[in-house]
Amino acid sequence: MKIVFASTNRGKLREASEIFEGFEIVPISAFSAWKSPDENGSTFLQNAVIKAEAAAKAAPDSIVLADDSGLVVPALDGAPGIFSARFSKEGTDAANREKLIAELSGKSDRSAYFVCAAVLIFPDKTVLAAEGRCCGRIIESCRGNNGFGYDPLFVPDGFDKTLAELSENEKNAISHRGRAFRKLLTFKGSSL
């Protein structure tokens, strides 16, 4: 069976393929009707739903998958949150990281967590969504060359390395996205 993923990011597509074992993960770019939507929700879940509905419109007979992720820093009242990719004016990874370092300067609470909201929409319009988190702390300067975004500043709980110093396999094992995807896969409706 196929799952159409509303992403063109190769790392994400690979991660989804590993977790949704037995499914063929197809990028939404394979569907010419796909139009990237305006992600104007006010939560990760809302933005993931917006993306998933846009994908379902472009691929109406498929199971579609979408996610929205970001970094939440309690000492910054939850920022950068849903604005993680556009935290700084420039909106580049480097500028976003610099802003984060500056805003946390002198703060004693450097705890932070990555959040991923992942959404599946089935052809009958049933929807399943789940949240995954990866908790850790923000260090004072960048370390490591893997990953992207805030990874070089983020040390996950139980590790001494930043996410950018971990291998892709090590990172996927603890990632917020992987956790959200696995929750989708194991949901059996048993809560009701």
- So which residues are the catalytic ones? 68
Q: Based on the shown chain and the rule CB under 8 A, indicate whether residue 39 belongs to the binding site for its own copies.
A: no
Task: Give the C-alpha separation, 42 to 38, whole Å.
Answer: 12
**Helix, strand, coil abundance in the chain, percent, nearest 5:** 40, 25, 40
Q: Based on the shown chain and the rule CB under 8 A, indicate whether residue 183 belongs to the binding site for its own copies.
A: yes
Q: Of the ranges 10-18, 91-99, 106-114, 124-132, which one interacts with its own copies (CB under 8 A)? A: 124-132
Task: Give the C-alpha separation, 124 to 127, whole Å.
Answer: 9
Q: Which of 29, 46, 146, 172 binds its own copies (CB under 8 A)?
A: 46
What is the length of the chain? Answer: 192
Least distance CB 149 / its own copies (angstroms):
22
Burial (CB < 10 A; 0-12, 13-18, 19+), residue 140, is exposed
Cα dihedral across residues 43, 46, 49, 55: positive or negative: negative
Residues that contact its own copies, how many (by CB under 8 A): 28
Q: Of the ranges 25-33, 67-75, 104-112, 129-137, which one interacts with its own copies (CB under 8 A)? A: 129-137
- Contact characters 56-85, its own copies, x per CB under 8 A: -------x----------------------
Least distance CB 120 / its own copies (angstroms):
8
Q: Based on the shown chain and the rule CB under 8 A, indicate whether residue 155 belongs to the binding site for its own copies.
A: no
Q: Of 43, 66, 44, which Cα lies nearest the Cα of 53?
A: 66
Instruction: Reply yes or no: is the peptide bond before residue 80 cis, omega within 30 of 0.
Output: yes
Which residues of this protein are in contact with its own copies, per CB under 8 A?
41-43, 45-46, 49-50, 53, 63, 119-120, 122, 124-131, 183-185, 187-189, 191-192
